[in-house]
Amino acid sequence: MKNAIKKIDDLFLNKRFEEALSGLEYLIEYVENLKEEKYNRQLAFLYYYKASILNFLNKFDEALKISNKSCELDSSNAKHFILRKTIYENLGNKEAAMQDEIKIFEKMPTIIQGREKEFEIAMKYMQELGKNYEYGEFTKEELIDYFINLAKNEQENEISEKFDYKKLTENLINQAKNMLEKDDTFFEIDVEYILSIMRKYSLITGERAQKDNNLDDDKRTYLIQVVTEWIYHKARDIVRARIPEKYHENIFQKFAYVIYQTLTGGWKDEIDEQIILNNVENNIVETNKNILKELLNSKFIDKDCYEFALSLSSIDDLREIEQTNDEP
């Protein structure tokens, strides 16, 4: 999806407007056909982009129809109402523009009221840096949240212990993010979801490992890496297979538990490291089969979903890539 958006950006910048609109129409139709609520924000962004181009081309009536859709789907995001306000102004509808201006103001936190110029400058600076920049521009509310989270993260990172599993988690997340952003298979919301699942189980594993007196820091680090990498691969598979999200928590809990027990049990029994890793993979494969079979028997997924999910293995995809890269 991200690569497709970049292509549309290029078309627009080269003034190939009709082609850009056609590309957006294709993406909109694709996302609409998914008929999943979790993609509403992505769909709202596509509507927003299309309405922006139509407004730029002075096709204000068409732009308004599309802008209404983006406002309806992502009503908490002020930027959709900012665009619609502009379209209303271009249509000469001052009353409707005023109503949207009121909505925009209501969505702004009180902390920025009276300081709009200061935050506009800050937003431009943040956009240039590209930090936390995802959908084309910041709303003022998003910028406030960014600064609050930044301060919070700085506090959380002040850890005195030698073993800093939170810092390790963020390093792993950043590596995964770089890989996922190069993969056009997933929507942005899928990427966010995969990373959030990775972060959750990496932190859970780190907290548990830190309290385990049988582990030294090297083993704790290794344990977190293995759990997080496997969760990354299985999260990719589960998202690709479109297994309903309400069953995910139970699935990931089982994967994390199996990996943790297999590794720590293998170390306790002083088994060879490679054999332990083979056992981890075998146990994951077996667990995956049992989970899918249970979902199928309970009629939570159909046979097509079951067979497709069973055929997936992103760890195998990774190995194929590694083998290709190793060829002379």
pLDDT in tens, 119-177: 555 455 444 444 443 444 445 455 555 545 544 454 444 433 456 888 888 889 988 88
Burial (CB < 10 A; 0-12, 13-18, 19+), residue 67, is buried
Confidence at residue 66, expressed as pLDDT on a 0 to 100 scale:
94
pLDDT in tens, 128-138: 444 443 444 44
pLDDT in tens, 269-292: 888 888 988 898 889 888 888 889
3-state secondary structure the chain: CHHHHHHHHHHHHCCCHHHHHHHHHHHHHHHHHHCCHHHHHHHHHHHHHHHHHHHHCCCHHHHHHHHHHHHHHCCCCHHHHHHHHHHHHHHCCHHHHHHHHHHHHHHCCHHHCCCHHHHHHHHHHHHHHCCCCCCCCCCHHHHHHHHHHHHHHHHHCCCCCCCCHHHHHHHHHHHHHHHHHCCCCCCHHHHHHHHHHHHHHHHHHHHHHHHCCCCCHHHHHHHHHHHHHHHHHHHHHHHHHCCCHHHHHHHHHHHHHHHHHHHHHHHHCCCCHHHHHHHHHHHHHHHHHHHHHHHHHCCCCCHHHHHHHHHCCHHHHHHHHHHHHHCC
CATH fold of 2-107: 1.25.40
Burial (CB < 10 A; 0-12, 13-18, 19+), residue 170, is middle
**Please, which pLDDT band fits residue 180 given cuts at 50, 70 and 90?**
confident
Domain borders along the chain are: 2-107, 111-158, 160-326
Give the predicted TM-score (pTM) of the model. 0.52
CA distance 170 to 151: 16
- What percent of the chain stands above pLDDT 70? 76
Per the model's pLDDT, the better-predicted residue between 324 and 263 turns out to be 263
Confidence at residue 158, expressed as pLDDT on a 0 to 100 scale:
41
Instruction: Report the mean per-residue pLDDT for the chain.
Output: 78
pLDDT in tens, 300-318: 888 888 888 888 764 544 4
With the CA atoms of 44, 49, 55 and 56 taken in that order, what torsion angle do they form, in degrees rounded to the nearest 10? Answer: 170
pLDDT in tens, 69-105: 999 988 888 788 888 988 998 999 988 888 887 677 6
